[in-house]
Chains A and B, each alone.
Chain A
């Protein structure tokens, strides 16, 4: 699947969350969507998931608009993982993950073998098999984030749009979740993840899209995140390194002569 967004403008009152944004996303790629707070990352993800009306511009899915594609088809092909890890009722992890199969199921019919297999695969991939009978409210923040990631994986969509999927995780599970997202991309899905951890973003992503003030300011391989881009968008300088052939960036100091420590 290819999502092509052209000229996206979204205004909340006076403020433009997206100010004429273009981007293209294709299956098979792990894309890190990065940028400072308020840059428009969540708004962009919600537009791409068909959850947010635009004031102008639109996203097209293999050339078709969300309206032409239809709600049900869009739900099967594009999965969305919301930033807030909330569940209003204390469902078991099993039941939460099974919600990801709703776009594929006929209403009021029991889950098919494919549905059950997808739930099992998602539980295993997100490493929550042993939590499956626990009410989701009883889990720690990180466990809950993994359960909700499993819910999004269970959709088995061509494109997964994940808003801060690793923010609540401990370092081990951050590494595992990033590896899992990369593996999903290798298997052919497109993955777009909003990330704040630039080290994880530069290490794992095939491509980074850097947003600032509702526009794309850089788009390319992790090397596109140059010192100039970091200083301009985040106001930081960074350490750069390489280990086992993987380049990474560690934010180090606030940029500018007067801001050092």
Chain B
């Protein structure tokens, strides 16, 4: 908690504008860079002219969903991470803490396990969303409305471990090794080979989740001084917890359902950006969402540039980059403390 922590604060408007510009640049890079060489302006012209050339198809069916999903999922992870860190007042909280990402992964795996994935295109994402919702409901059932923050964390860890155990069980009992292999690869998280219908399925749920999370900003600011002070400033903490669990379940559940589990973005994005907003949890929300989108888009460009085949999974890449980065941050915190 050094003096530097506060003096690093920069103007909020310029910061949001700069991050939004960076996010657009990263999305553009994601559109431009891929395995096939693509003349993006020409492909764009083809798309608008309604010509279904190969370039137009690549842009519309492959590159565009990948970039848009990258931005959406990254924003969800960064935003939910910042919101949960604010709620739990712990810089090590991330969407995994409350069990919704584990639940979403399990939901998708169950669909896969029972061979429903091939039944229709959206079966897996729907299963993922259902899993996230069930995890959130289970969390409520375990803690009840009046419970405190510590109970919420413990119940979240319980739900997450249980979902992890059931996922492992599905792998354990998998009827053939190929199914287990596919489940494992899906769990590593990736933006490759996703389609526009998946984006359209996830988008409304995601936006609803974002709204719930972003609306919590004043209450999260008040929580800085503890639960009694926040309540004395007029905030209903039971409602706040419900709002944030629901928001995280919708946004992160939809994200995991489409892309698989992608770790560390929700942990690292708030950590990197917190000093720039004067450590205010309310202001961190939007900023951390943009930061998460930038990190995920950049990582997804990186996995396509690294000449490794099969392609490095995005969840693997974010963990490989994220873990040392997080250690660096922790080390800095320790030296400044």
Of A82, A91, A138, which contacts B228 at CB under 8 A?
A82
Question: Are B224 and A87 interface neighbours, CB within 8 A?
Answer: yes
A-B contact count (CB 8 A): 98
Q: Is chain A's binding surface mostly helix, strand, loop or mixed? A: mixed
A138 in contact with B279 (CB, 8 Å): no
Q: Which residues of B226-281 have CB atoms within 8 Å of chain A's CB atoms?
A: 226, 228-229, 231-236, 274, 278-281
Q: Which of B1, B5, B232, B233 has the most CB of A within 10 A?
A: B232
Across-interface contacts of B217 in A (CB, < 8 A): 107-108
Decide: A89 near B280, CB < 8 A? Known: A107-B218, A133-B6, A134-B6: yes
- Could you tell me if B3 and A82 are in contact, using CB atoms closer than 8 angstroms? no
Nearest CB on A from B278, distance (A): 6
Chain A residue, CB-CB nearest to B216: A107
A72 contacts B by Cβ under 8 Å: yes
Interface check A209, CB cutoff 8 A: no
Given the contacts A99-B221, A102-B218, A90 and B279 also touching, CB distance less than 8 Å: yes
Asked whether any CB of chain A lies closer than 8 Å to the CB of B53, the reply is: no
- Contact call B233/A84, Cβ cutoff below 8 A: no
Known: A88-B89, A88-B223, A135-B5. Contact between A46 and B228, CB under 8 A? yes
Interface size on B, residues (CB 8 A): 30
Interface residues of A in 150-167 (CB under 8 A from B): 151, 155
Contact with B along A68-80 (1 / 0, CB 8 A): 0001101110111
For the complex, what is the distance from the CA of A135 to the CA of B231, rounded to whole Å? 23
Closest partner residue, chain A, to B4 (CB atom): A135
Which of B2, B226, B281 contacts A135 (CB under 8 A)?
A: B2
The listed residue (A49, A90, A91) touching B232 by CB distance below 8 A is A49
B1 A80 Cβ-Cβ under 8 A: no
Task: Please state if B228 and A80 are interface contacts (CB–CB under 8 Å).
Answer: yes
Q: Which residues of A contact B225 (CB under 8 A)?
A: 82, 86-88, 96, 99, 148, 151
Cβ of A12 to closest chain B Cβ, rounded Å: 14
Q: Which B residues are CB-close (under 8 A) to A133?
A: 6-7
State the Cβ distance, B16 to closest chain A Cβ, in Å.
13
**Cβ contact within 8 Å between A71 and B234:** yes
Across the interface, which residues of A come within 8 angstroms of B279, CB to CB? 89-91, 95, 135
Contact A102 B224 (CB under 8 A): no
Measured CA separation A218–B84 after assembly (Å): 46
Q: Are A138 and B236 in contact (CB under 8 A)?
A: no
User: Least Cβ distance of B295 to chain A in Å?
Assistant: 22
B222 at the interface (CB under 8 A from A): yes
Indicate if the CB atoms of A99 and B224 lie closer than 8 Å. Answer: yes
With A135-B1, A135-B279, A138-B1: A99-B233 Cβ-Cβ less than 8 Å: yes
Residue numbers in A under 8 Å from B280 (CB-CB): 89, 91, 95
Closest Cβ neighbor of A84 among chain B residues? B226
The minimal Cβ–Cβ distance linking B221 to chain A, given in whole angstroms, is 6
In the complex where A91-B279, A133-B6 touch, is A75 in contact with B1 (Cβ < 8 A)? no
Does any Cβ of B come within 8 Å of A92's Cβ?
yes
Chain A, residues 39-51, CB within 8 Å of chain B (1/0): the string is 0000000100111
Known pairs A88-B224, A135-B3; A50 contacts B218 (CB<8 A): no
Which B positions have Cβ atoms within 8 angstroms of A?
1-3, 5-7, 9, 89, 215, 217-218, 221-226, 228-229, 231-236, 274, 278-281
Interchain residue pairs A-B with the least CB separation, the first 4: A75-B234, A137-B1, A80-B232, A88-B89
Interface pairs (9), CB distance under 8 Å: A82-B228, A82-B232, A88-B223, A91-B278, A91-B280, A92-B278, A95-B279, A99-B229, A138-B2
Which residues of chain A have a CB within 8 Å of any CB of chain B? 46, 49-51, 71-72, 74-76, 78-80, 82, 84, 86-92, 95-96, 99-100, 102-103, 105, 107-108, 133-135, 137-138, 148, 151, 155
A sample of 4 more A-B contacts (CB under 8 A), given A90-B6, A96-B225, A135-B6, is A51-B228, A99-B224, A102-B234, A138-B1
